[in-house]
Amino acid sequence: MPAPQRISTGLGRGVPILAFDFREHVQGHPGYLHGGTMSTLMEMAAYAALIAQLGIDGTPLPMKPANITIDYLRSEFALRTFASGEVVRAGRRLALVRASAWQQNPSKPVATALLNIILSHHG
């Protein structure tokens, strides 16, 4: 499943928010967003939140997921989908980030994710 190709970004309460417009090529069942696309969007939102909190300004910091848990809470329809992340804890080597995705109302997420991200600090 290809990753979302048209993603816009913005800030909500100082947190990066990603937005993705539904496209037919990322459809699972007719009229529904594919779960792989949803998980990719939330993973990208988690990385964006971590980068924003750590204040990374173009200096590469290799990151990779150690573990990702996705909870699909309701069907994702053929609508614009938003995602944001929240850093729960960021240590020297590992960060815990929570992400959620919604379509019409942020208080009614369609999916949530919890990511353990390995941070590779050099030097």
Contact between 5 and 41 (Cβ < 8 Å): no
Q: What is the DSSP string of 14-49?
A: TEEEEEE---GGGBSSTTBB-HHHHHHHHHHHHHHH
Whether residue 60 is contained in a domain is answered as yes
Q: Which of 41, 115, 46 is nearest to 79 (CA)?
A: 41
What's the predicted TM-score (pTM) here?
0.81
Residue whose entry in the numeric block shows the structure tokens 């009229």: 31
Domain interval for residue 34: 7-119
Whether residue 1 is contained in a domain is answered as no
Specify the CATH number for the domain of residue 31. 3.10.129.10
Whether residue 106 is contained in a domain is answered as yes
1: confidence class by pLDDT, cuts 50, 70, 90: very low
Contact between 99 and 44 (Cβ < 8 Å): no
Whether residue 2 is contained in a domain is answered as no
Domain count along the chain: 1
Q: Please give the mean pLDDT across all residues of the chain.
A: 82
